[in-house]
Structure 1
Amino acid sequence: MNKFFQIVAHIFLIVFAAELVFAIFLLLGDIYHLLIGLASVFQPEGFHILGRSNYWVDFAFVMFCLTVALFIYGITQGKYAYRVIKHTLYFDDLPASFDGFTLTQISDVHAGSFTNPRAVQKGIDLINAQKSDLFVFTGDLVNNASSEIVPYIGHFSQIKAPYGQFSVLGNHDYGDYIKWPTEADKIKNLDQLKAYHKDLGFKLLLDEHIELHKNGEKIILAGIENWGIGFGERGDLNKALKGTSVNDFKILLSHDPSHWDAQVKNNPSKIQLSLAGHTHGMQFGIEAFGIKWSPVKFRYKHWAGIKTENNRYLNVNRGFGYLGFSGRIGIWPEITVIELKRK
């Protein structure tokens, strides 16, 4: 029944979006002809309104068909059209031994939404092909239940990096969005999910940090439980940083980018790089021809890519999986590769 409802909902969404585009272009055609008619008031033959031309009707129909095709592509192919996006970031205080250090980040797997294991495997292969020094996952492994990741443990456990694989929890990982028989069942689900992180080979950071050492120098990798405005403020940043120095070079894993604005970018203990996800770029938008737009911009000031402020960086990953709408249009699933460079 849920599958049937999903299919019906997606058909409705496609038709609604295509009809909306069709209506917009017909309206533009009507406005154009009205303006031409108004201009003709100043002509000897006087005012007249031109009728709707076949050109505008045909053009609107073409846009209708293109919209349908775009949504079909997004549902059948776009949601697995993994992109590698690379950034090189420069720091004054990066330890010299870590100059050129690379990390790969993914976020928002949402394993319960996957329907094509072979396509997911292509994404895993692409992650490993980056040969980064470090791998990090910034939350939302599942939609609701820990069992959703079980069919994909064999896939994600293939991810390996010389300095390890690390992860944090996202808002969906706590099971807040479905009804559990008892509170004990909900707690058991979360405990099981934490165990699955271990099965994946991921070290789950729960308001804690670890040190990465190279040639006698170190950087700090910290991770907190989900902290997001409107999505649960569970994480304790101070606890995660306890025992670190103000001058340590720090990388923070924090699922929700709203945490960066609220607690990180002006924190007395400098956090040079924060890695987040959560937004998915709303799985719909445009990033082409110098345009970067998604409806999610009305909820989050920074919803994808690199942001810098106060000599600190934030990267928001567009997500590896998908949720709700079973597709992606214009905002493709992302594998981020970041190279750390010393100025």
Structure 2
Amino acid sequence: MKEKISRRSFLNKIWKSGLTLMGLTVSIPSYSYFGERKWLQTNQIKLSSKRIPSPFSGLKIVHFSDLHLGFHMDDQYFDDLIKQVNAQQPDVICFTGDLIDEDASNLVDYIPKLQQFKAPLGKFAVLGNHDKIRSDAVAGVAEALMRSNFNLLINKNVQIKRQNAVMNISGVDDILIGNPNLDQALLEANQDTYTILLAHEPDFADIVQDYPVDLQLSGHSHGGQVRLPLIGHIITPPLSKKYVNGLYEVGDSLKVYTNRGIGTTIYPFRFFCRPEITVITLETAIL
């Protein structure tokens, strides 16, 4: 009798374990696709520097990246993104590339939505590697951004002004498959003031640290897109191996922020890696 109970108990455990495994097999992909993939997280950070002119103290920048339009991006999710970005009342918006996943044929349909992002001191963008995978898509991406009032920074610098002060926002072409020229991007930058660089791939910071740049904003990594508890990211694309997610200090004076992105690529899942809106508030350091 004791042997039968023991055997029955063992079989029950096997049965329950099987059901649990089946449940996880169904629930984890469902959560990763229907839940976390569109569960936007807003991260607030403050950065101070004596190089930030006092009229820019309190300047609010919203940074986001990697929309990957055309790959499992629905209108409701995009509308939620617009609402959450504009709710921050940013002075400046910075988008660090991969507007599309690959196909730009329907990009014109997104222009009215891209136009809804509001920032009084300007909206700035660079191209990512997915924007340039297909040579026939690059012009469409550039046109969509410019028609949406984004200032496209391809090896270019723009100065923003507040009262009698200026600050630099520079951008480089995609590092992986573009023609980045950091010297050209910074050619017209005022080296006596704070400089922000938009560069799609974060590991470019190892080169940028030798230039007069204070803050590099990047994306590309998706934070790994899928992360495991106690382990972290499993894999990231080239040039996002070192600075995968969040804020880093590189060299003597450069800070790098890598945004986890909004969309997905290759597979439409996120796990322990929510899509991210970054709100950066700049403050003048007290000497």
Q: Identify the residue that residue 139 of structure 1 maps to in structure 2.
A: 97
Bigger Cα displacement from structure 2, 195-204 vs 67-76: 67-76
How do residues 166-181 of structure 1 correspond to structure 2 at under 5 angstroms? 166-176=124-134
Q: Deviations over 1:228-268 (max 9, x none)?
A: xxx3252100000002243321000000012112x11232x
Q: CA, structure 1 residues 215+298, in 2 after alignment: closer, same or farther (shift >3 Å)?
A: closer
In terms of fraction of residues, the more helix-rich structure is 1
Quick one: distance in 1 between partners of 2:18 and 2:60? Answer: 47
Q: Identify the residue that residue 29 of structure 1 maps to in structure 2.
A: none
Tell me whether 1:238 sits opposite 2:183 in the alignment: yes
Quick one: distance in 1 between partners of 2:68 and 2:49? Answer: 33
Identity fraction in percent: 27
Q: Identify the residue that residue 333 of structure 1 maps to in structure 2.
A: 275
Shift of 1:340: 0.7
Tell me whether 1:282 sits opposite 2:221 in the alignment: no
- TM-score normalised over the length of structure 2: 0.88
Quick one: distance in 2 between partners of 1:256 and 1:298? Answer: 9
Q: Identify the residue that residue 209 of structure 2 maps to in structure 1.
A: 265
Tell me whether 1:155 sits opposite 2:113 in the alignment: yes
Tell me whether 1:207 sits opposite 2:149 in the alignment: no
Q: CA, structure 1 residues 53+219, in 2 after alignment: closer, same or farther (shift >3 Å)?
A: farther
Q: Identify the residue that residue 61 of structure 2 maps to in structure 1.
A: 103
Instruction: Name the SS for the 1:113 alignment partner.
Output: coil
Tell me whether 1:294 sits opposite 2:233 in the alignment: yes
How do residues 179-218 of structure 1 correspond to structure 2 at under 5 angstroms? 186-187=135-136, 189-218=137-166
Quick one: distance in 2 between partners of 1:93 and 1:248? Answer: 5
Q: Identify the residue that residue 24 of structure 2 maps to in structure 1.
A: 66
Quick one: distance in 1 between partners of 2:246 and 2:17? Answer: 35
Mapped contact 1:275–1:314 kept (Cα < 8 A): yes
Instruction: Name the SS for the 2:70 alignment partner.
Output: helix
Q: CA, structure 1 residues 170+115, in 2 after alignment: closer, same or farther (shift >3 Å)?
A: closer
Q: Identify the residue that residue 21 of structure 1 maps to in structure 2.
A: none
Mapped contact 1:280–1:319 kept (Cα < 8 A): yes
Q: CA, structure 1 residues 65+284, in 2 after alignment: closer, same or farther (shift >3 Å)?
A: same
Tell me whether 1:126 sits opposite 2:84 in the alignment: yes
Bigger Cα displacement from structure 2, 309-318 vs 130-139: 309-318
Quick one: distance in 2 between partners of 1:114 and 1:137? Answer: 19
Select the structure of larger CA radius of gyration.
1
Identify unmatched segments of 5+ residues in structure 1.
1-51, 177-185
Bigger Cα displacement from structure 2, 198-207 vs 242-251: 242-251
- TM-score normalised over the length of structure 1: 0.74
Q: Deviations over 1:66-103 (max 9, x none)?
A: 34312111112322111111111121221111111110
Q: CA, structure 1 residues 202+336, in 2 after alignment: closer, same or farther (shift >3 Å)?
A: same
Quick one: distance in 1 between partners of 2:223 and 2:52? Answer: 30
What RMSD over aligned residues (CA atoms) do the two structures have, in Å?
2.2
The alignment of Structure 1 onto Structure 2 pairs a total of residues equal to 274
Amino acid at match of 2:242: K
Q: CA, structure 1 residues 148+333, in 2 after alignment: closer, same or farther (shift >3 Å)?
A: farther
2:49 to 82, 91, 101: 91
Instruction: Name the SS for the 2:270 alignment partner.
Output: coil
Bigger Cα displacement from structure 2, 124-133 vs 108-117: 108-117
Quick one: distance in 1 between partners of 2:242 and 2:13? Answer: 40
2:248 to 297, 304, 307: 307
Quick one: distance in 2 between partners of 1:277 and 1:141? Answer: 11
Q: Which ranges of 4 or more aligned residues in structure 1 deviate by more than 3 Å?
A: 52-61
Quick one: distance in 1 between partners of 2:52 and 2:203? Answer: 25
Quick one: distance in 2 between partners of 1:144 and 1:297? Answer: 18
Shift of 1:64: 4.7
